[in-house]
Structure 1
Amino acid sequence: MKKQQLSTLKDGARFFYGGVEWVKLDQTCGEVIALAAEPVFERAFDEENCNDWRKSSLRRELNGPFLDALIAEGADPAAFIEWESDLTADDGMTDYETAWDKIALISCELYREYRALIPKIGCWWWTLTPWTCDPEYSYRVRNVDSSGAVYWNYAYFGYRGVRPLCHLQSSISVSVPDEEGEQGLQMNRNEAVEEARDAVLDTLNDYPAEIWGDTLGAAVAALFQSKQDAQDIAEEERAKRAEG
């Protein structure tokens, strides 16, 4: 790792600050918008099942214990700039107005704006955008699913990832992988690929060459289906627990 000024990083670059890996989304007027590269934990949006971010138990945790943990890991308290989130609902209702925080979540509007810089991560995670402000459905919150599409879920549902969003002073120093570290990671990956390739070839050598293609195709299909089945089963079980 090496130290580098945050302002010198390109949009989409990853860096470490306060013990968390972040993605730089944008920079303007001395501030950098940063999103956690991966969920930092799984939580309910609100333990009381309310989709209003202003009342959210998750909001209290992010701006309390979580922010304290970042500072304990070396982050400068002054580096976090208080900013205003737009709480407009997915259906256009504006009853919740806005909220000011140092740590929050991304809105659906910002997610769409920076979508090209936010790669899919293979799991579900919260936004702070309510599905509606209508009291009859005040428990539905928008989240991003494993495909990158936007869906909704119950606010009390505790099996969604949390990717904090913050505004940082662009002048701070952050940690980024140095070139040698990146090369080392790539070399390790290449070595693992070569080992896996050799293992597959050793196995295939036990069979006639004319069936290699069919064998590989069947193996890949089986692996893909197993992964898909596991994801579907996990989602069904979580949904049942939430409804029960």
Structure 2
Amino acid sequence: MTTDAEVQYEQRTIRAMRGMESTTIKKWQDDGWELVSQTNGKLRTEIVFRRAKPKSRRLLWIIGGAAFALILGSIVTVGVISERSAPDEGMAANQTAEAEAEETPTSEPTQAEPTPTNAPEPAVLTPENDAEFAAILALGDYCSPEIAAFASTHRGETAVFPGHIGAINPHGGAATRYDILVGAGDFSETSAPGPAFQYRDVNTTNDMRWAGDVPDSVGVGTNLAIMAEIGLYEESSCLLLIEPVRTSVR
């Protein structure tokens, strides 16, 4: 019988938004992780998972190293044979090239005029012109692997979509800088589809890049028209960071 003392575990600590604990736990358990503990905070819950480390990793390295050495030896042998036959072939090619050079009159090469090219501007992603973007905005799981894949593919690109402020909290205890949770579509107290977008460490004036009239105040429930640059997806918190490009109140 194998005991816990004989099994080596790797451990991962995840921070989930309050109310999303069950979704986060299911996602990690589906990936083979075992729930160890969860500690509820004011805004987030800290969840600890573990899973057993594989035992056969060292054996795979040994087998892979032996196979690599065998392949390397074959490559070296083929290279030596090729080098021995190369001089004769090279000499014949050089003699042929010299004969052709004596028979062909030389002429000044003509240079083609460079053709100016205009690099196309990168397209702005919208739910209407990109099916993948439309699909992730409708997802029911903000920790879905599809969101991580989308962020990896489109990081640095600009996206436009209707959204709302789902939460706003001071950034690191600052008085005028905030972490703003942004959801897709209109604000609702019963549903929040799509990724958990976040503006991190921004003020609510200049950093938001307001278009048109600057609102006197914004808060939870404010519906926005958002243009933002797609940033990093944080696997530990399931947050998709975005940078404001243009914002207006809907």
Same fold by TM-score, threshold 0.5 exceeded?
A: no
Which protein has the larger Cα radius of gyration, Structure 1 or Structure 2?
A: 2
The alignment's TM-score, normalised by the length of structure 2, stands at 0.21
Higher helix share: 1
Higher relative contact order by CA 8 Å / sep ≥ 6: 1 or 2?
1
Structure 1 length-normalised TM: 0.21
